[in-house]
Amino acid sequence: MNTLIMNKPIITLDEVDIYQDKQKVFQNISLSILEGEFVYLIGPTGSGKSSLLKTLYGEIKADKGKITLSNMNLNTITAKDIPSLRRQLGIIFQDFQLLNDRNLFKNLEFVLKATGWKDANKINTRIEEVLESVYLSESFKKMPYELSGGEKQRASIARALLNHPKIILADEPTGNLDPLKSEKIIQLLKEINKKGTTIVIATHDYDIIRKYNARTIKCENQKISTIETYEL
């Protein structure tokens, strides 16, 4: 964790119940994640990792308990508050979710304009900054189909970084990648974390967790618990 960041919670869940499609996923869970922390979420398929991330970015609402994210009460936010919440978050999906009808630069430009950026020079500068940070400066004109799997995932990380998020939520970011590309993605996320961004990763990749050890939260039987790496 970045020692320059104040040691205070940026995500808290207090006795929370979460349902998805009327099915209870979590019962009475509590969790605190600190500013600048790097956290893995693990658990069997269907254990609720993705549902927990969806709750944190406002797609699912908790049925009981209280959730606070970056000083926003997720229990009381309305549809008009979601854009403000999402600006504080970077979200990385396993399937990349790039727009296939435009090149990488235009993909990133679309996100910035959609989140209120208007100045063309500032847009260009920010896109150059994030592409450099994920080592894709030379690929800005490429269409998504011209990018490798690892490049697509780095492009999705670039997209997540655009609005200077305090928190990045990543859902299986290495799920479609070979071991070498997976390692490079985690190394990149570790670099971002060292600059102060809180990172929460849902993953099945236990080899990565063993190699890049961090706090690990297990989701199972509607509960969560902190586990040690040797228990994997």
Any idea where the domains of the chain sit in the sequence? 1-88+171-232, 98-164
Q: Which CATH superfamily is 1-88+171-232 part of?
A: P-loop containing nucleotide triphosphate hydrolases (3.40.50.300)
Q: What is the pLDDT of residues 16-66, one digit of tens each?
A: 999 988 899 999 999 999 999 999 999 998 899 999 999 999 889 898 999
**Quick check: 215 pLDDT over 90?**
yes
Of all residues in the chain, what percent carry a pLDDT higher than 70?
Answer: 97
CB 198 within 8 A of CB 168: yes
> How much is the mean pLDDT over the chain?
91
Higher pLDDT, 96 or 173: 173
Rounded (to 5) percent helix, strand, coil in the chain: 35, 25, 35
HSE of 127 in the Cβ direction (CA atoms, 13 Å)? Answer: 22
Predicted pLDDT at 3: 47
Least confident of 13-17, 93-97, 135-139, 140-144: 93-97
Contacts of 139 (CB under 8 A, 6+ apart): 104, 131, 147, 151, 155
pLDDT at residue 6, as a whole number: 56
